[in-house]
Amino acid sequence: MCSQAVLVDRTLYISGQLGLDPQTGNLVTGGVQSQAQKALENMGEILKESNASFSNVVKTTVLLANIDDFVAVNDVYKQFFSSQFPARAAYQVAALPKVSRVTCDAFDLILLLWNYGLQSSCHFVSSHFPRSCQGATVEIEAVAIVGEVVDKPFGHKL
């Protein structure tokens, strides 16, 4: 058992999100892009519930079962991060949990947001997406800051 998200002070820790239809609890069809799209939409709903958005994201890590999926995943990713891109790393891994197409299209995206420091107060955000689903190709985790992120990115866009 786990919570979909836990808010500690202004830091939101979001559990791994899958490409699930929240109405049916089933994985969406259509491959890695469809599941990436739905997983990021699900993540967006959790961010929205906590008064945050993708604009609060400052760091992401993308884990792919097949690095050849990077371009396809990146095409979806760009729809959610369109102006202020977070820092990002991408890796191929040997295996990911609950993979329907074995190692072919799976990826795990960890979104990390600027951490202003942890306090002792905690709030557990309600769960509105099912967690147990066999065959997922996408799982997304996040840490978000609720409120304005004041630091601006620097360096070059790649």
Q: What domains can be seen in the chain, in order of their start residue?
A: 5-145 (3.30.1330.40)
Average pLDDT for 35-41? 84
Quote the pLDDT of residue 50.
Answer: 82
Amino acid of residue 149:
V
Q: Is the pLDDT of residue 148 over 90?
A: no
Quote the pLDDT of residue 75.
Answer: 92
Q: Is the pLDDT of residue 36 over 60?
A: yes
Confidence (pTM): 0.66
Residue 32: DSSP 8-state: H
Model confidence band, residue 135 (pLDDT cutoffs 50, 70, 90): very low
C-alpha–C-alpha distance, residues 136 and 18, integer Å: 6
- Top pLDDT among 144 and 128 is at 144
pLDDT in tens, 93-129: 666 655 433 222 334 445 444 433 333 333 333 333 3
Average pLDDT for 17-37? 82
Total residues found in the chain within this entry:
158
Q: Considering the chain, what is the average pLDDT of its residues?
A: 65
80: left (phi over 0), alpha (psi -120 to 50) or beta: alpha
Quote the pLDDT of residue 151.
Answer: 47
Range picked from 111-115, 133-137, 143-147, 150-154 for highest mean pLDDT: 143-147
Average pLDDT for 66-92? 81
pLDDT more than 70, % of the chain: 51
Quote the pLDDT of residue 152.
Answer: 45
Name the residue with tokens 């990911």: 96
Average pLDDT for 127-143? 47
Do 118 and 148 contact (CB within 8 A), yes or no? no
